[in-house]
A and B are shown apart, each in its own frame.
Chain A
Amino acid sequence: KNEVEQSPQNLTAQEGEFITINCSYSVGISALHWLQQHPGGGIVSLFMLSSGKKKHGRLIATINIQEKHSSLHITASHPRDSAVYICAVRPMNRDDKIIFGKGTRLHILP
């Protein structure tokens, strides 16, 4: 079992829909990152969380440390939101190598 699991793996939605991407992890963490990767490669950091909730524009990220779960929400989705969204965690121990989820491929139809 992967230490970081994302769901769904693929998601297609209509423009304007509310999108939720989930991330579950099995280790204690010091931080969780949500990353966005558009076709062509470049990765952009969307959020870094260690507790609670953060909002940036139409994007909202939440984390529940006790349940080892985080969600990324996109409100009023737009075709330009089409990308791969990757969850990554930094374990809270001496071996704190970042572990990545497999990513969620999101396609927003106009």
Chain B
Amino acid sequence: KAGVTQTPRYLIKTRGQQVTLSCSPISGHRSVSWYQQTPGQGLQFLFEYFSETQRNKGNFPGRFSGRQFSNSRSEMNVSTLELGDSALYLCASSRGGSTGELFFGEGSRLTVL
């Protein structure tokens, strides 16, 4: 069974640009959540989607957005990149519900110059 796939794995952008990250969940999983990990703040929740609907959003500015498609694949977008957006962005999939086990992808490491 294929795991959670995130693309791209590494990317470098400059301030002011925008970036789109993709997450393909495990087959049959309908929930996808996104997280930002930085050395200073650790892991922080970004969004959670279930069946194309955003269930929850973390305390991030409106520059951070996301969506989920009918095949459960999800994308997140960060516009007008700032240096502080440099981080590892992780997504996780689960079958859904508040007690579902999380399966994480390898992450997309974003560097903003």
Contacts and interface: CB of A to CB of B under 8 A. Distances in A.
Contacts of B104: 35, 42-45
A83 interface: no
Given A33-B102, A42-B106, A44-B104, A100 B43 contact: yes
Interface in A43-75: 43-45, 48, 50
Contact of B102 (A42, A45, A50, A95): A45
B106 A31 contact: no
B56 A96 contact: yes
A44 B88 CA distance: 15
Interface residues of B, number: 22
Given A33-B102, A43-B104, A98 B33 contact: yes
A3 to B, nearest CB: 12
A106 interface: no
A98 B45 contact: yes
Interface string A73-105: 000000000000010101010011111111100
Contacts of B56: 95-97
Contacts of B25: none
Contact of B103 (A45, A97, A101, A102): A45
A29 to B, nearest CB: 9
A97 B109 contact: no
A104 to B, nearest CB: 12
A89 to B, nearest CB: 11
A90 B33 CA distance: 13
Given A41-B88, A42-B104, A100 B44 contact: yes
A88 B101 CA distance: 12
A99 B41 CA distance: 12
Interface in B24-81: 33, 37, 42-45, 48, 56, 58
Interface of A: 30-31, 33, 35, 41-45, 48, 50, 86, 88, 90, 92, 95-103
Give me the 9 closest cross-chain CB pairs, A-B, nearest first.
A43-B104, A100-B43, A30-B98, A31-B99, A48-B101, A97-B45, A41-B107, A97-B56, A42-B106
